[in-house]
Structure formats: C-alpha cells, structure tokens
Amino acid sequence: MAGGDAELLGPGDPPPVEVRDRAADGPVIVTCDHASNRVPAALGDLGLSRADLDSHFGWDIGAAEMAAAAAAALGAPAVYCGYSRLVIDCNRPQDAADSIVPRIDGRPVPGNTALDERQRQLRGREIFSAYHAAIAMLMDQRARRGLPNSLVCMHSFTPVFGGVRRPWHVGISYGRRGRLARALLAELRRDGDLVVGEHEPYPVEVESDFAVPVHGDLRGNEAVLVEVRQDLLADAASARRWGTRLAAALRDAIAACELEVGVAPAGEL
C-alpha cells in the first residue's frame, strides 16, 4: 500500500504485508503477525533504542524463519506482516488497549503516546487492515480453487515472564474450532521430551487476539496459534529446524483429523 493514497508509508518503506508462494496448494495457510521489527520511516524509531526494537517487544524473535521453514515443508503459502507490533499489533483488535502499546516494560513508548485519532487510523488502515485484507484475499482465492483454508499462526514467546520461567517448549492455542489444534497437540505430545502447553502461554481471546477469531472462527476455518519459546529459536538454523518439525506434526495432524489435504487441479488460479 506504499504509494497511492498512503500517508504513513512512504516510497522507501517496505510493503505492510508479504505473501510468499501465494499459489502453493499445501493444506494450510501460514501467517506470521509479528514477523518484523521495522518501523515506517515517518515514525523514526518511536523514541526507542535499537535494543528495544530488536527485543521481543519489537517482534517475535525467530518466528519468521520458523514460519518460512514450516511453509516450505508444507508447500503452503505464507503471509508476513512487514512492521513491528510496536507500530500496531496485528494480532489485537484495533479497539484493544494494547493495539498500539503506550508502554513497554513499564516505560513509555514516546512515539505511541498522545496519538490522535487520525494517527491511529493511518496505522490501522495502512498496516493492520492491509495485512488482514491480504489474508482474506488469499483465503478467497483458495476457496475458489477448492483448497482448505486452515490457518496456522506462528508466534514465539519469552522464556521468562514476570520473573517466572515458562516451562513449555511449545504452546498450542485455539478458538472455537479446535479439531486441527487438538490433533496437533496429540502429535506433539508423542515426543515425551517435549513440554507442550494447551492454551499456553496464552489462551486465544476475542478481546486480545485477531487472526484466530476472525480468519478462523468467524469464517468457519480451523485455526491454530503456535507459540515456540524464544530460546529454542535463538539462531536461524534452530528456527528452521522447529519450522520443519512443526510441519511434520501438522501433516500428521491433518491426516489424523481427516481434513482435506488440498491438491489443486492443474493450471487453476
């Protein structure tokens, strides 16, 4: 959406959303809401340090590499948000208090305080809405091709929260449609060394989540939110290994719950 009638994103800014392998006919759509820690040039650094932007406050460390590896292994399209959750969180309803966080770690985010309605709307329109419109459009295209629109949302979480160590290696959360999620939980739990959380570290809530309730529950699609602990994704090779591992578990989960594994007729789209 850069260019055209864009007022926030400029010609030097990357697009708000990247769809890779759009025509891939794999059994799911992979998304990564918190793939990037970029900030539009017009917003500078939001008044934060480079270290803040590079930390988990800025993005989900390792999630983009993990999502890419999972999508490649599944032959699936993948949708990545192009901007930091500190600009606007694409997994929050826009009326949520932390859609545009005013503080991190008890400190103010200078670029996010005293925003007027127009500034909020620009971030919403040019980033949040552009990202979710791309997911919806991909789902419409796949529906016309007879492909399933099961959604796998890839995230990562911090090893320690509020001074407490989080024990799970991986957490699976879901909304009202939990068939694929429960099958994935069963597959992951086959590995006795893996600590697997259900609705951990966070449950999916309509008030604090967007992708699963809207693209999953409201549209009648299976939707799974996958969270992997960030210390397990500390380098790109580890993140890719996790993506490949999750893809294998997803394939078995899909087979187990007899979801249609999409094979598109040749030449369609």
Residues that bind Zn ion (CB under 5 A): 34, 60, 155
CB nearer to Zn ion: give 34 or 166. 34
C-beta of 60 vs 65, nearer to Zn ion: 60
Nearest residue to Zn ion, scored by beta-carbon proximity: 155
Give 13 or 60: the residue with its C-beta nearer to Zn ion: 60
| Least distance from Zn ion to the Cβ atom of residue 34, Å | 4
* Beta carbon of residue 192, minimum distance to Zn ion (angstroms, whole number): 27
Min dist. Cβ of residue 33 to Zn ion (A): 6
Q: Which is nearer to Zn ion, 142 or 155 (CB)?
A: 155
Phi/psi of residue 21, each to 5°? 55, 50
- In the complex, what is the shortest distance from the CB of residue 154 to Zn ion, in angstroms, rounded to a whole number? 8
